[in-house]
Structure 1
């Protein structure tokens, strides 16, 4: 338990440094997006490559991948079923964004540091990252494309628009997957793991140095993002949506992951802890990006990201305390 608390202390300290940087404006007004892009596009792919190339590929593609898939699907499905009866005035696309808010976790920006410093190995986050990028992202991109096109058809009654949009959607899905830097880094790492290839040593050391920037830049960017946030504004009318999504994300999602790990897959105690802690991670900021892209569900996406981000660390400490 002391190792778990030590890991959380390290993470929170770096987040607080980021918050202080954002509060003082030391790096300017664009610090958060710049740090986030450095972490995502520059440092995270080498980190995933290093982690996976030295990992057992069969472990990465093992039970944790299935637990991530099933628990996210159940969480999203539960939101959609609940919203059908409780939030009848919402559009299908807005409900989908909210369902993503309840099930899509921050597997990279917080998942990698949590896996490294709390669970003991950054590779624990990889099955979740692979699921979300290679499986979940193509699915929800397709659903949002077709749903927004359907809603557009209801307004324009144009079948040609929908047909053209269908193929455009498939093309966007394919491009999203093959161009994602985390997918590229993960895929290359898996290839090197299976083939047991080795990089030229100076190149390997260069990649390792760049990879070392991933975790601190992720956490500081997250800390900066907390400056000035004001969630759950009553006038915006999405409190119920946010509370429902956040409750499923922080309580139901990790509970389902624990049940699957403990009773369905019958994993050992540490693997059960891994599944439950990773499922307790907050909503991914990608949800807000998607909400902006499709211009739907912006309020619930933004507020759920903020609320779950604030409450996730205490939730993970509780989960770790119960299972460690």
Structure 2
């Protein structure tokens, strides 16, 4: 795929994202409205899209275990690299290290990867296995460290705090939708066509609404480029360049992942830091300013680099 073709594929993404940013900057639509749009996408539209598509998918083709194993190996190496680098910089607090690991390895699936894949490839199916791996493995590791390092009266013991956090993570609409689609698919349960049509109708709105919400949020927050620290630059560079390159090498050279799946995994790894990094930072009172900056700036950098990655993996 040439550079011009890659840019053409991304025109809808740029239009939805840029429209939100422009309207927020001009104060035509208040930036605070991004939360309502984001909640609609995250809690309703994206789960509807995921459920319908997983239910009707060929799970044997969808869960390519070689591809998933390669991505998991690349993610494990990335986690180790960030943890070692953070420790070398004198960061010893486990929650602070976990936050940086999440910033460099987790990807923004619901608000970024899903709409981009729908727009570029016409499907977000390759994201489903990575989404489950991210929520059921990576997120649980981060939540466990955060909860066990949490202190304060009235929060309960470590076991109860960890149990609540794990339960809340696994009970998110995204995970429930994925698991419901997989279970009904495996059991060959017939879901009425009217339900699938309704889910498809709502799910079709997930991509533009999620990108518009992200644009509104970033347009309202603005960018403070001059205040970017060296640590922020390093984490953004690793997230947007280092991790996708690592995924390319590990999945391609070590796991021999076939071409189309290799392209999917590299693009997924190139997605920005997820918005829930900021939510975690606020909840556990660690690195709040750093997390807010990383979410915004990595989103912008990832969007700018998408044509390059799309051209590279498709060539």
Superposed pair shares fold, TM > 0.5: yes
Measured in 2, the distance between the counterparts of 1:90 and 1:174 equals: 24
315, 318, 324: which one aligns with 2:305: 315
Deviations 1:210-246 (A, max 9, x none): 1112111100001111113234564xxx712212211
Question: Are the aligned partners of 2:45 and 2:206 in contact in 1 as well (CA < 8 Å)?
Answer: yes
Instruction: Determine the structure 1 residue equivalent to 2:250.
Output: 260
130, 133, 136: which one aligns with 1:131: 133
| Segment drifting more, 71-80 vs 49-58 | 71-80
Shift of 1:283: 0.5
Question: Are the aligned partners of 1:257 and 1:279 in contact in 2 as well (CA < 8 Å)?
Answer: yes
Gap regions ≥5 residues in structure 1: 153-157
| Residue 6, structure 1, aligned to residue 8, structure 2 | yes
Shift of 1:292: 0.6
| Segment drifting more, 218-227 vs 16-25 | 16-25
Measured in 2, the distance between the counterparts of 1:147 and 1:168 equals: 13
Measured in 2, the distance between the counterparts of 1:92 and 1:240 equals: 21
Question: Are the aligned partners of 2:272 and 2:299 in contact in 1 as well (CA < 8 Å)?
Answer: yes
Instruction: Determine the structure 2 residue equivalent to 1:20.
Output: 22
- Distance change >3 Å, CA 69–CA 165, structure 1 → 2: farther
Question: Are the aligned partners of 2:94 and 2:145 in contact in 1 as well (CA < 8 Å)?
Answer: no
Write out aligned runs for 1:264-279 (5 A): 264-279=254-269
Deviations 1:37-71 (A, max 9, x none): 00001111110011111212233332333233222
Give 3-state SS (helix, strand or coil) of 1:49's partner. Answer: helix
Give 3-state SS (helix, strand or coil) of 2:312's partner. Answer: helix
Question: Are the aligned partners of 1:8 and 1:117 in contact in 2 as well (CA < 8 Å)?
Answer: yes
| Residue 247, structure 1, aligned to residue 250, structure 2 | no
Instruction: Determine the structure 1 residue equivalent to 2:35.
Output: 33
Shift of 1:186: 0.5
Shift of 1:275: 1.0
Report the TM-score, using the length of structure 2 for normalisation. 0.91
Shift of 1:109: 0.8
Measured in 2, the distance between the counterparts of 1:269 and 1:305 equals: 30
Measured in 2, the distance between the counterparts of 1:299 and 1:213 equals: 32
Question: Are the aligned partners of 2:67 and 2:257 in contact in 1 as well (CA < 8 Å)?
Answer: no
Instruction: Determine the structure 2 residue equivalent to 1:109.
Output: 111
Question: Are the aligned partners of 1:102 and 1:249 in contact in 2 as well (CA < 8 Å)?
Answer: yes
Measured in 2, the distance between the counterparts of 1:230 and 1:4 equals: 26
Shift of 1:4: 3.5
| Segment drifting more, 25-34 vs 126-135 | 25-34
Measured in 2, the distance between the counterparts of 1:215 and 1:177 equals: 23
Question: Are the aligned partners of 1:109 and 1:218 in contact in 2 as well (CA < 8 Å)?
Answer: yes
Give 3-state SS (helix, strand or coil) of 1:94's partner. Answer: helix
Measured in 2, the distance between the counterparts of 1:288 and 1:27 equals: 23
Instruction: Determine the structure 1 residue equivalent to 2:222.
Output: 229
Deviations 1:133-176 (A, max 9, x none): 12221111001111234xx7xxxxx9xx89x4311233223322
| Residue 64, structure 1, aligned to residue 56, structure 2 | no
Question: Are the aligned partners of 1:22 and 1:31 in contact in 2 as well (CA < 8 Å)?
Answer: no
| Residue 184, structure 1, aligned to residue 187, structure 2 | no
What value does the CA root-mean-square deviation take over the aligned residues? 2.2
| Segment drifting more, 216-225 vs 305-314 | 305-314
Tell me how many residue pairs correspond in the alignment: 310
Deviations 1:67-115 (A, max 9, x none): 3322222222211101211x21563322221221111110111111122
